[in-house]
Amino acid sequence: MVSEGSVAPDFNLKGSDGKLHRLSEFKGKSVVLYFYPRDDTPGCTIEAKGFNESLADLQKLGAVIIGVSNDDIDSHKKFCNKYSLNFLLLSDPESKTIKDYDAYGNKGVFGFGTLRKTYIIGKDGKIAKVFGKVQPLDHNKEVISALKG
């Protein structure tokens, strides 16, 4: 179980930039790692656009934003291009990292899949904050508030 104070699980996933990324490459920064069900769906689009609009504020707070879903890289690239998203999206087609972060489960009428969940990982590599059952609208503001302390 991933909880506040625990060491964040590492990952090795391909990004929307075409490169492989590990959590360790972001050492020294706060990482906002958010999990979402599907590219270009209403809630996921609202959440992504919110983070994109807050990108400058997040960067001023020393944070990077990274989205994770099990969509493939082509889907991520189209999603980023369509909405001019300027942050990294990672592809987890086997949902390994999604499951490592307890972001996979029963979605009721939608069956099992990726849950909307966000983690703030501190500069020390430990989970500083967990947001479960995220509401897409204004989630970016909740994250900024938590980063400010």
CA separation, residue 88 to residues 18, 23, 75, 96 (Å): 10, 12, 13, 18
State both tokens at 125: 């590599």
Q: Is 44 a catalytic residue?
A: yes
**Long-range CB contact pairs, 94-98, < 8 A, 24+:** 94/70, 95/70, 96/11, 97/9, 97/11, 97/13, 97/68, 98/35, 98/68, 98/69, 98/70
Structure tokens belonging to residue 25? 């490459």
What single letter denotes the amino acid at residue 62?
A: G
Find the catalytic residue in 32, 44, 90, 127.
44
The residues assigned a catalytic role are: 44
